[in-house]
Structures are given as structure tokens and as C-alpha cells.
């Protein structure tokens, strides 16, 4: 029995409807599935509405972007309370920051000789939340790159000339927001931080001191050695270990819900430990 605690719907940068994800999770015979769209819980009501129709347990989450050591670090907020009004208002603030970044990125791309409009980007999305995935598809549609991945390689990837950073949370701030919403803050796919060229032992201990309570030890695109390392690191630090595919639908071809690139198996007993951590946080 396996779980998947990291996936995205069309409410952020995935291509599947929330209800469709619930059905896919059921077809994959998952024990539990957590929807973790970027900076939003907008897909959660439709996702949870599918619970009477599926056996897989449907869980609430989100994924927030932070700034850590000059790089973008993603933090999963697992098991947050979707009715928490303060958390919802904070997510609205994050989306406003994203929209400001998007406007500035359009200006930067025009200066680089790749003028696209907000309408071009919106045409690539099925929800109001626009990400760099949608920029990449718009750049490809307009002929400025051959394929969307090339846009990240040459134009809008981190440290590329067309990239514009947005005002991001600190890890401690993101952790506090998530805990105050009843959730557990978890470092997402640490093996993909700084393009993987990074030693995590001291840095993860620093993040733990900033309030991070878990790390993603199982991930849809980890190599076997990476998985072994991060699972062991979590155990050594006494952090909760979680896992997920990071499924995005058609935006990540070949990556399946619950299975990643084929070898992912997230043990369902990790969910019990995650819930125990959530209860511990509720009594602090």
C-alpha cells in the first residue's frame, strides 16, 4: 500500500482537474493522496467532494516558495485546515506577489526581444494562477523557443536573463504560517534545490531550527541513492519523512501519480507519522 503526498492540479501548474486527480489516485490504488497546488487551496473543495466516490483518502495541502541561501526553496504545507481564514488571506497575498512578478517578467522578456503579452500566457492556463510553466508554453507558441523546456534553459530558469524573482517567504515564515493553519511544514524535493549540487546535512539542520518539521525523502524523480540519503538524513535529524510524485499531468510527461518515473513507492505508514507530528504541533 502506497501514498502520494505531492501533486498538482490545473489550479496551479498541473493539467488535471482536482476531481480527476482523485479518480487517478483511486485507479492507482493509493491509500492516500494529498493535493498540493502552489500558493492556493482553490482546488481543494472539488477534490474533497470526490471522497464519497473513491476509496483513496483525500488530504489537503499546498506548496509555498521560500528564499533560502539565495535560491528558491519549496515548502509543502501538509494537512493544513482549508477553512482557516487567516491562512487563506495569506495565500491571496502570495498570489498578488506572483502577479507582480509576472508583470515584471513580461517587461524583461520584451527587453530581451521576446515580447509576449499577459493574454498569451493566460491562454496557456486553465486557472487564474500563472506560473513559469505557462510562460514557457507561451514563448514556444510565439516561436521564441522551439519547445517549452528550452525557455527554462535559455530565458526564464533561475539565473537566466529573463528570470525575475518574486518576493518570497523565509523558511521560518512559511513554517509558521503552515503550523498556524494546523499543518506540517515539509521541505519539498530537497534533491532538486540548487540543481542538486548541494550538501544538505548542515542546511537541513538549519531549516529544522527555522521550524521545518519534515522533508520529502521519497520523490518521483529521485535516483535510488538520493532517496536513500534523504530518508537517512530525516531519520538522523528526527524529522518526519514524506514522499510524493510531484505529478503535474501533461506538464511532466512520463511521470505517474503514485509511481513517479516508475520506481516510486511511498510507504503508507509515513502518513501515520505525519499525523502524529500534526497532533504534536496542535498541543504546542
Number of Cβ within 10 Å of residue 276's Cβ equals 12
Residue written as cell 521519497?
218
Report all structural domains of the chain as residue ranges with CATH numbers, in order of start.
2-83+168-282 (3.20.20.140), 92-156 (1.10.150)
pTM of the model: 0.88
Determine the 3-state secondary structure of 63 from DSSP: strand
Average pLDDT over residues 199-216: 95
The 10s digit of each residue's pLDDT in 50-72 is 999 999 999 999 999 999 988 88
For residue 191, pLDDT over 90 is answered with no
CB 184 within 8 A of CB 141: no
The 10s digit of each residue's pLDDT in 115-127 is 999 999 999 987 7
For residue 26, pLDDT over 80 is answered with yes
Query: What is the DSSP secondary-structure string of 183-226?
Result: -EEEE--GGGGGGG----HHHHHHHHHTT--EEEEEETT--HHH
Please give the pLDDT value at position 283.
63
Number of Cβ within 10 Å of residue 223's Cβ equals 13
The 10s digit of each residue's pLDDT in 223-247 is 999 999 999 999 999 999 999 999 9
Amino acid at each position: 500500500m502506497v501514498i502520494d503526498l505531492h501533486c498538482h492540479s490545473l489550479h496551479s501548474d498541473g493539467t488535471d482537474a482536482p476531481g480527476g486527480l482523485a479518480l487517478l489516485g483511486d485507479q492507482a490504488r493509493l491509500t492516500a493522496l494529498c493535493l498540493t497546488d502552489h500558493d492556493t487551496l482553490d482546488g481543494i473543495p472539488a477534490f474533497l467532494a470526490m471522497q464519497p466516490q473513491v476509496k483513496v483518502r483525500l488530504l489537503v495541502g499546498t506548496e509555498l516558495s521560500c528564499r533560502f541561501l539565495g535560491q528558491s526553496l519549496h515548502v509543502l504545507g501538509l494537512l493544513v485546515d482549508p477553512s482557516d481564514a487567516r491562512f487563506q488571506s495569506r495565500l491571496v497575498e502570495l498570489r498578488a506577489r506572483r502577479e507582480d512578478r509576472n508583470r515584471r517578467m513580461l517587461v524583461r522578456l520584451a527587453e530581451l526581444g521576446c515580447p509576449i503579452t499577459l493574454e498569451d500566457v493566460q491562454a496557456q492556463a486553465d486557472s487564474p494562477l500563472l506560473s513559469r510553466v505557462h510562460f514557457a508554453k507561451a514563448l514556444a507558441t510565439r516561436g521564441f523557443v522551439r519547445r517549452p523546456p528550452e525557455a527554462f534553459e535559455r530565458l526564464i530558469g533561475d539565473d537566466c536573463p529573463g528570470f525575475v524573482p518574486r518576493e518570497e517567504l523565509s523558511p521560518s515564515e512559511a513554517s509558521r504560517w503552515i503550523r498556524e493553519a494546523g499543518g506540517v511544514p515539509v521541505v519539498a524535493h530537497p534533491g532538486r534545490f540548487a540543481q542538486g549540487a548541494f550538501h544538505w546535512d548542515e542546511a537541513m539542520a538549519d531549516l529544522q531550527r527555522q521550524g521545518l518539521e519534515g522533508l520529502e525523502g521519497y520523490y518521483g524523480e529521485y535516483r535510488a541513492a538520493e532517496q536513500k540519503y534523504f530518508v537517512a538524513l530525516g531519520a538522523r535529524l528526527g524529522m518526519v519523512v514524506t514522499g510524493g510524485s510531484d505529478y503535474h499531468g501533461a506538464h511532466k510527461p512520463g511521470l505517474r501519480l503514485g509511481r513517479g518515473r516508475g520506481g516510486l513507492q511511498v510507504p503508507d505508514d509515513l502518513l501515520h507519522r505525519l499525523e502524529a507530528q500534526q497532533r504534536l504541533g496542535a498541543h504546542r
